[in-house]
Structure 1
Amino acid sequence: MSPESSTFSHVGSNRPVSETSPVSHGATGESSQANDGAIAPTVTIADLQPPDDFVPRHIGPSAADVDAMLKVLGYSSLKDLIDATVPSAIRLQRSLNLGPGKDEYTLLQELKAIASQNQVFRSYIGMGYANTITPPVIQRNVLENPGWYTQYTPYQPEISQGRLEALLNFQTMVTDLTGLEIANASLLDEGTAAAEAMSMSYGLHKGKANVFWVSEACHPQTIDVVRTRALPLGIEVVVGDHRQLEPDASMFGILLQYPATDGAIYDYAEVCDRAHVAGALVTVAADLLALTLLKPPGEFGADIVVGNTQRFGVPLGYGGPHAAFFATRDAYKRQIPGRLVGVSKDAMGNPALRLALQTREQHIRRDKATSNICTAQVLLAIMAGMYAVYHGPQGLQRIATRIHQLTQALANGLTELGYELGHEPFFDTLRVSVSNATEVMQQAIANQINLRQLSDRAIGMTLDETTTPADVRDLIALFGPTPEALSANPHPATATLQPLRRTSPFLTHPVFNRYHSETELLRYLYRLQQKDLSLATAMIPLGSCTMKLNATSEMIPVTWAEFGQIHPFAPLDQTQGYQHMFRQLESWLAEITGFAAISLQPNAGSQGEYAGLLVIREYHLQRGDTHRTVCLIPESAHGTNPASAVMAGMKVVPVVCDRDGNIDVADLRAKAEKHSDNLAALMVTYPSTHGVFEEAIQEICAIVHEHGGQVYMDGANLNAQVGLCRPGDLGADVCHLNLHKTFCIPHGGGGPGMGPIGVAAHLVPFLPGHAVVPLGTGPSNIGAISAAPWGSSSILPISWMYIALMGAEGLTRATEVAILNANYIAKRLEDDFPVLYKGQNGLVAHECIIDLRPFKRSVGIEAEDVAKRLIDYGFHPPTMSWPVAGTIMVEPTESESLAELDRFCEAMIAIRAEIREIEEGKADRQNNVLKHAPHPAAVVIADEWDRPYSRQQAVYPSDWTRDNKFWPAVARVDNAYGDRNLVCSCLPIDAYLEAAP
């Protein structure tokens, strides 16, 4: 609607105001009538002031602050600074074609209208996804709470004890229910967890066998993801009926589903025994809620158990985000993928939690890593764990029993109508034989019910926590007259489960039996939250991680029913709102990156890396270049890059960096020439991981293309490019985008994330497909990367909102201010700390590396000491000892105000003064305030204080700490002790104390 013809309404009124209506104006609300009684000229719609601009709400520094910062840097304008920072040859010479930003109120209404195009039918599709009830106390105080969703990965355990405890609860829940000894802190989804199990089993076999046998009773999306992962590794996936399986020496692993995808419950004990005799490991994909009633897989011989915790209070969300689980035997604890929370002790000898076995992280193992997983679904794992804490073992069994009883009532009703069901026991899913499945499906749709069509003559139905007796009657009515008996309560019998009924106890730890009232759980959640530093507390200046504002208006749509209550395999005509949003977001991201097309499927940055490389691999294969397997990776690359390349079946060849931290172009050229016949790709991060805009980026891309390779760009640092330059214009062929960095999806304590990829036109045919939902990709697609067709769909509205709120001008301004903030910090600290790498004109990009190595040589102070001391000043430490050991990498983002930047700089300068005291002999080299940092309250309130510095200096080193102190929960954690004495599930506290010397 044009401005000339539009109307608008007063707030709180439905009365339209035409373009000739009198409108009050002015800051004091004066009447439009002049003092002499004359009527002032009417104000037209076109003359009205625009609504409040979101951009200054997102960007921290005001216009006056920007001028003040530019003055410190010696530049007269932001344009001059950007011209001096970003090489002119790569600059985008126009504005992004995105239009102006919109105000929050208007945009939320617009997105609500889009969301309303989704139709929320009653869903009984199943396939590993079920409706669930999110306890309101968990929804409001975890999912919707910035104290939980803006936290970073718990690499700094002293300020992450609350989140770590919640994850330990999750791990304990998984080990108890699966009957295995150890579980990780979550993975991305059930499909990728099964693929990780395949990779782990393959690695344990050390290449002695290459067949991974998969039951045809597994969920189809899981089989799809497993096949995608297996192909580049040379693993043969064989799908068949487990009842006819004869394991042999060619098989290194077997995957079973429990209960099966059609609901049947099989006794797999004999299959497990025969697999073990043949030397194969057994993975069971299990329903965690069913395991409250069924014998745990660990008790019938499973070596690995995977699955999805979605039905533990996490909304469907059209496929995600959800927290997968991965449990295995203690013998394999050093091969388990992902992150693992373990118990250790702090410097005072008290129990403390931290991430265990961190040497398995990809940034250390690099091309030796068997997995590129660098994220967990922490926020969702916390929700699932708290669901178990809230309900407890008896509550979970009640929920599961009620679902099973309703399913039994449904089975009884269908049987009375003469329908044949599967002969195996069932938990919540029935397979119904019908004469014409299509007619039944159409009848269901007409009643706003979604079922699953298993074949032309079979229908599947899965009940869940939200199902009622009335729903059961409605389902039976689809097949015929409802039997009179169903007017009563659900059928009480559970005898059908008896052969495999669970007899072992679970969730016996006090944490699962103490917080069943909302009051108690609320207080428990807040106790844990107060132990963690989040963006609600202070700036988190982590280099390469982009911890920016996650605006409330961006988060609100996530919990709308129109987005949250949609099954990932609902018919496409019911998800038109999602499809509309996907198309818009894809087009915006394509414009921002300069690519021809975007795939939203990868549900983490690591998955985006992997998908991008598989697209390149398939491109070469389709051209007959099967020999192109060499991947060049600079030594400065993210640690997941080499791991992703190996997973994609490529051979990693490192490229050195020069003394300024840039890719050594001469070495790159030499390596490209040496491997010219076999060159598949280059993986490059831009701006570089060292925090500078490399001037030679276009030459670097041209060299790779000259030798037949493709350029993959890691999008971790895209926050320095948006609106200024574009990966597609630089020469990149594919790039993954961290929506949880540049585009405002919050980090959630270490997940969720999204890592969609953009590709050039010649790579579009190879974008991910999906076995269940057609995505319109061609026959050359690489298969499914994630279990759900659009990854973690329910968090995509966050990035949609961010881009639409900011508009072209706002996004560019954000990038410019991010670069300004980083250079301001570098300038303020340069007299006290050397900045390791700088680009042209002595400037950095959106982050800077501060070199602390001289202090180790002079007085024994290391990067860890500075990082832990920053906690005493109320800050989350920057990225530590990466990409260069002995340094910290600082990225302030555009969202931090000048006051916050100054506070951080003053803290760093104060720490430099503390180091100087050691240099001058005023403080001891070992017994000083840095070596003992951080200082929890328990240390300073102790009766004895024998340290050579005051308690006040320890915990109140600045004015702001006296005004608003954030206390670390524990003293410095002993990581090595925890790895030597690995404990990864909840035990009574006295058990931890007994382990201490």
Structure 2
Amino acid sequence: MNTHLFSARHIGTREADLQHMLQTIGASTLDQLIYETIPDDIKLKNSLDLEPALSEYEFLNHIQELGNKNKIYKTYIGLGYHPTIVPAVIQRNIFENPGWYTAYTPYQAEIAQGRLEAILNFQTMVIELTGMEIANASLLDEGTAAAEAMALLFDVRSRDKKKNNAVKFFVSEDILPQTLSVLQTRATPKGIELVVGNHETFDFSEDYFGAILQYPAKFGQVNDYSSFVAKAHEKEIKVAVASDILSLVKLTPPGEFGADVVVGTTQRFGIPMGYGGPHAAFFATKEEYKRSMPGRIIGVTIDANGNRALRMALGTREQHIKREKATSNICTAQVLLAVMAGMYAVYHGPKGLQYIANKVHASAVTLADALNKLGVYNLNSSFFDTISVKTDALKVKAIAEKHEVNFYYIDNETISISVNETTSISDLNQIISIFAEATGKENVAISQLANDSMVPESLLRKSTFLTHEVFNSHHSESQLMRYIKKLERKDLSLNHSMISLGSCTMKLNAAAEMLPLSMPNWNSIHPFAPLEQAEGYQIMLKKLEHQLNIITGCQGTTLQPNSGAQGEYAGLMTIRAYHNSRGDHHRNVCLIPASAHGTNPASAAMAGMQIIVTKTTAEGNIDVADLKEKALANKDNLSCLMVTYPSTHGVFESAIREITQIIHDNGGLVYMDGANMNAQVGLTNPATIGADVCHLNLHKTFAIPHGGGGPGVGPICVNEKLVPFLPTNPIITTGGDKAITAISSAPYGSALVCLISYAYITMMGAEGLTNATKYAILNANYMKARLENHYPILYTGECGRAAHEMILDCRAFKQKGIEVTDIAKRLMDYGFHAPTVSFPVAGTLMIEPTESEDLAELDRFCDALISVRKEIEATSQEDTNNILHNAPHTLAMITSDTWDFPYSRTQAAYPLEYIKENKFWPSVRRVDDAYGDRNLVCSCAPIEAYM
């Protein structure tokens, strides 16, 4: 084995096992299998034109050299991003721990209790700091959270008949510039009219349904918004407040002055800036709006024994159920970052957070006093951490940059300075000396922080927060380390066994790909730092864009969308902009196959499109005749087709080029959902099948870990005609010459984790990437061959092959009283996370093994499913006290003094021999979802308190 090759470590299947697997499948060679799987007319003729692959050692040297081109200045830019202290105990035990970063979204609650508790802590923290009633499990960033707040308020306006036709949304001129840009993007297709102005002169007319305020304002002023909110409510205008989470430790929470929604980012709570992300936004609102909330909520329920358990609550809000009626397309969260932020609050507790907030405020007051003595006067009458001063900004800028210091330059005579948790007295003296030099005044050094407050008494927080035991128990490192480990042990992640989720590729997230994220020269850069200070980032990001262009066959890429759903939306918005640029404003019909991901119709609705669903055939393919009929009938208004390829049914449809040609012939464009790109890379590509734009899930195909449900990155790759419309940013210009406004807050989205995909592609190289695709298809077809005599396989290609995933049909087991959920829960006893349950077809399991799994692991999983099939066979409709209905079996059950089941403890806990070597115990019995929805509890209080 060539130990130099990274791909040999990434791809699990060994050369020695290849012939056995091919023999099982019934193919003589791997190339024959690929020939029988992918239609010949879309196969690439040439290999990917990528640079030669680097070894892990070579790559880590390369990324260190590239990182050295980034300049780490002392940064006081603010605008929603601040240098932070990441507690080492959290960095080592969560951020750098595969037990946390390789977990999947907690759809299977019984094996995700640790993560669910950590997110519940996060929700509790947000609820108490904002003064609101309910919070979700995090959103993508502050800008998109603000846009979701606007969408929620637009949705709930229909409850008030007076507001049914109101379309105006007031935006304070003090809003963060990147937030305004995202609001503009989201408002236009929904028919919302944004009105930007001064909250003090707002007219409160009947045309408005909502408003958003910034607290503190973008350049630091802390305003008293209580009278504004009261007047707005008199006129039935709902108010959202975008707030700084650390300031809420010291300031009156928005919930206490009447806010309807509160949003912001938790980046300040121990998350590195990372050139813009990933960071966990927060979203809190009133209990009455819970059914309109975007994203996910973690709730408290009970398990089969009546014990407290956690799960994802309010499943009916999931956008794949609401589809085109959805108010949001968000189907994810920033779980890993939310866990870190919540753990930051656990570690510091209320007193620790008060100490940090007081120190930050005292630093700002001390700085303002010192600059006043130099004749550089602060413009803010009240502030928390940010001051704005009048002076010769160009002169200061030249001196500051010479001393490697960044401020934010509002204009040629106004500067904003935001201090932060890392700011020391030495740092303050450096800032003062810069202004002394610029003004020609004598420098006066400070030796201690001021005790004065620049927050009016009326705006100081009076209420307590974080009173729950969890925030008052783990303040030593040993205590927190053990608490984190206790939670980790309750979660099944990729470091225990394969997670074979169809449509959610869970592949190896190699350590060498992850290491650069902890390097200060990558994680300490502000997203609005001058470009010359981020040379390493600019080189890396441009290279990654180029690599993705080559892989997809496209001409342009934007990395800005920070989730797959954001990528869908960005792709549709570029299509919309293209049609509008040609005067085709009427082109708004979007064709979507019935088998599409649920986020597809939700994204199309958000982009202002009229959705027409096309049929699928009995074989699970797009009904070409129906598609053609609907394309012709709507040819004058056709905007686009949304298609997933290979299909959601795990098949390379042979008619794909005919399908895309029909759309083009009728004036539309083709958007390809990249969820299944792991079956395309190196063998075919979106451009070849006729797509004009595709999104890619970097957190699937390109090795960014799922993080327990986020971070995600969903860039879009486009052809030449769409390049001009790629999105921009109001501070750092990105995108094309006819760019749409921002999709997310940061210019390059979650830039820090783009390092992972850059590492993956750079170390795999053309041959490695192509082999990864081949082996993903091999592994899926091997599992299909082993399982098809035990479970019907729902759809296959024309030669009887699966793509990279397959669907097991479990609907017939209902005759024995067994639901697909029973199989999912029983697999936990075998040490496995269930495949995707009941998507895209109810009553099925969709399996995707990925290329990273070896033969032994594939066989263990197949053995488990075959064993479960035998258990199903042994049950009957009348037999309700059976091993599947009672699954999963906990350690408490197995060690109990009583055993009231008609099967043995060994059958329950150790049904196959391999399990004895490495048993994973679910920490609760099967959770009761219905109870949790009837008794919605989304914070840390014990459930008894709500009974």
TM-score range normalised by the length of the shorter chain: over 0.9
Query: Among 757, 775, 794, which residue is 2:752 paired with?
Result: 794
Q: Identify the match of residue 302 of structure 1 among 251, 259, 267.
A: 259
Match of 1:275? 232
CA offset digits 1:488-517 (Å, max 9, x no partner) = 211122254423100000000000000000
Distance in 1 (CA, whole Å) between partners of 2:49 and 2:332 is 33
**Partners of 1:317 and 1:794 within 8 A in 2:** yes
What's the CA shift for 1:423?
A: 4.0
Does residue 1:265 correspond to 2:222, yes or no?
A: yes
In the other structure, the counterpart of 1:717 is: 676
The 5-angstrom pairing of residues 849-928 of structure 1 reads: 849-856=807-814, 858-919=815-876, 925-928=879-882
The answer as to 2:179 corresponding to 1:222 is yes
1:483 Cα deviation from its structure 2 partner: 7.5
Q: Is contact 1:184–1:338 with CA below 8 Å preserved after alignment? A: yes
Contact residue 266 and residue 424 of structure 1 kept, 8 A: no
CA contact (8 A) 2:937 2:943 kept: no
Within 5 Å, which residues of 2 pair with 1:190-201? 190-201=142-153
Match of 1:533 among 479, 492, 503: 492
Mapped to 2, the partners of 1:580 and 1:283 lie a distance apart of 38
After TM superposition, the structure 1 = structure 2 runs for residues 546-561 of structure 1, keeping only pairs within 5 Å, are 546-561=505-520
Q: Quote the residue 2:922 is aligned against.
A: 968
**3-state DSSP class of the match of 2:874?**
helix
Give distance in 1, aligned partners of 2:849 and 2:463: 51
Residues 220 and 380 in structure 2, CA contact (< 8 A), matched pair in contact too? no
**Aligned counterpart, 1:5:** none
409, 415, 420: which is aligned to 1:453? 409
In structure 2, what is the equivalent of residue 830 of structure 1? 788
Alignment of 1:374-773 (within 5 A): 374-434=331-391, 436-480=392-436, 486-494=445-453, 496-773=455-732
Residues 51 and 162 of structure 1, relative CA distance in 2, 3 Å threshold: closer
Q: For residues 192-227 of structure 1, what are the alpha-carbon distances to aligned partners after superposition, in whole Å with 9 as ceiling and x for unaligned?
A: 000000000001113421011000101100001000
Q: What amino acid maps onto 1:93 in structure 2?
A: K
Q: How does 1:810-849 map to 2 (within 5 A)?
A: 810-849=768-807
CA contact (8 A) 2:206 2:235 kept: yes
> Which amino acid in the other structure matches residue 929 of structure 1?
I
Question: Residue 531 of structure 1: CA displacement?
Answer: 0.3
Mapped partners of 2:88, 2:593: distance in 1: 48
Distance apart, 1:739 and its partner CA = 0.2
Query: 1:51: Cα distance to partner?
Result: 6.2
Alignment partners' CA distance in 2, 1:411 and 1:786: 33
Tell me how far apart the structure 2 counterparts of residues 442 and 936 of structure 1 sit (CA, whole Å): 65
Matches within 5 A, 1:193-212: 193-206=145-158, 207-212=164-169
- Change beyond 3 A, Cα 1:583–1:484: closer
AA of the residue aligned to 1:832 = H
1:342 to 299, 304, 324: 299
Determine which of 164, 167, 170 is the counterpart of 1:213.
Answer: 170
**Which one-letter code corresponds to 1:383 in the other structure?**
M
Encode CA deviations 1:379-425: one digit per residue, 9 max, x unaligned. 00000000000000000000000011011110100111112212421
Is structure 2 residue 316 aligned with structure 1 residue 359?
A: yes
Partner Cα separation in structure 1 for residue 923 and residue 144 of structure 2: 34
In the alignment, which residue of structure 1 is the partner of 2:56?
104
1:128 aligns with 2:84: no
What is the aligned partner in structure 2 of residue 163 from structure 1?
Answer: 115
Instruction: Report what 2:742 is aligned to.
Output: 784
- Where does structure 2 lack aligned partners over 5 or more consecutive residues? 159-163
**Shift of residue 785 of structure 1?**
0.3
What amino acid is aligned across from residue 172 of structure 1 in structure 2?
T
Alpha-carbon deviation of 1:583? 1.1
Distance, in Å, in 2 between the alignment partners of 1:486 and 1:527 is 48
Once the two structures are TM-superposed, the CA of residue 486 in structure 1 deviates from its matched residue by 4.2
The equivalent residue for 2:161 is none
Q: Alpha carbons of 1:812 and 1:484: their partners in 2 closer, same or farther (altered >3 Å)?
A: closer
**Does the aligned pair in 2 maintain the 1:409–1:486 contact within 8 Å?**
no
Structure 1 residue 80 corresponds to structure 2 residue 32? yes
Match for 2:909 among 947, 955, 972?
Answer: 955
Contact 2:727 / 2:735 at 8 angstroms: preserved in 1?
no
Aligned to 1:322: 279
CA distance in structure 2 between the aligned counterparts of 1:353 and 1:823, rounded to whole angstroms: 36
* Deviation at residue 50 of structure 1 after TM alignment: 7.5
Q: 1:95 aligns with which of 16, 34, 47?
A: 47
Amino acid at match of 1:132: T
Q: 1:782, CA displacement in angstroms?
A: 1.2
Distance 2:456 2:812 in 1: 67
Letter in 2 for 1:611: A
Q: CA deviation at 1:885?
A: 0.0
Provide the rounded CA distance (Å) in 2 between the counterparts of 1:692 and 1:928: 36
How far the C-alpha of 1:990 sits from its partner, in A, is: 4.5
Q: What residue is the counterpart of 1:933 in the other structure?
A: 887
Residues in 1 aligned to 2:790 and 2:907: alpha-carbon distance in whole angstroms: 20
Provide the rounded CA distance (Å) in 1 between the counterparts of 2:649 and 2:919.
Answer: 33
Pairwise CA distance, 1:487 = 3.0
Matched, 1:143 2:143: no
Partner amino acid for 1:975? Answer: D
Q: Deviations over 1:714-750 (max 9, x none)?
A: 0000000000001011100000000000000000000
CA distance in structure 1 between the partners assigned to 2:598 and 2:669 by the alignment = 20
Q: CA deviation at 1:99?
A: 3.4
Which amino acid is 1:387 matched to?
Y
Q: Whole-Å Cα distance in 2 between the matches of residues 626 and 246 of structure 1?
A: 32
> Does the 8 Å contact 1:427/1:497 carry over to 2?
no
Cα offset, 1:887, TM superposition: 0.1
Q: TM-score, normalised on structure 1?
A: 0.93
CA deviations 1:122-152 (Å, max 9, x no partner) are 0000001111000000000000000000000
TM-score normalised by structure 2 residue count? 0.98
Q: Which runs of 5+ in 1 are unaligned?
A: 1-48
Are the equivalent residues in 1 in contact too, given 2:211–2:238 (CA < 8 A)? yes
The answer to whether the aligner puts 1:293 opposite 2:247 as a matched pair is no
* Equivalent of residue 898 in structure 2, options 939, 944, 950: 944
SS at match of 1:716: helix
- Which amino acid counterpart does residue 983 of structure 1 have in structure 2? V
Deviation at 1:554, TM superposition (A): 0.3
State the partner residue of 2:139: 187
Query: What do residues 522-542 of structure 1 show as CA deviations (whole Å, max 9, x unaligned)?
Result: 000000000000000100000
Is the Cα–Cα contact under 8 Å of residues 678 and 804 in structure 2 kept in the other structure? yes
Whether the 8 Å CA contact 1:452–1:459 is kept in 2: the answer is yes
- Structure number with greater Rg is 1
Residue type of the partner of 1:120?
I
Aligned-partner Cα distance in 2 for 1:50–1:91: 28
Q: Is the 8 A contact 2:436 2:443 kept in 1?
A: no
* Matched residue SS, 2:330: coil
1:113 aligns with 2:69: no
Match of 1:37 in 2: none
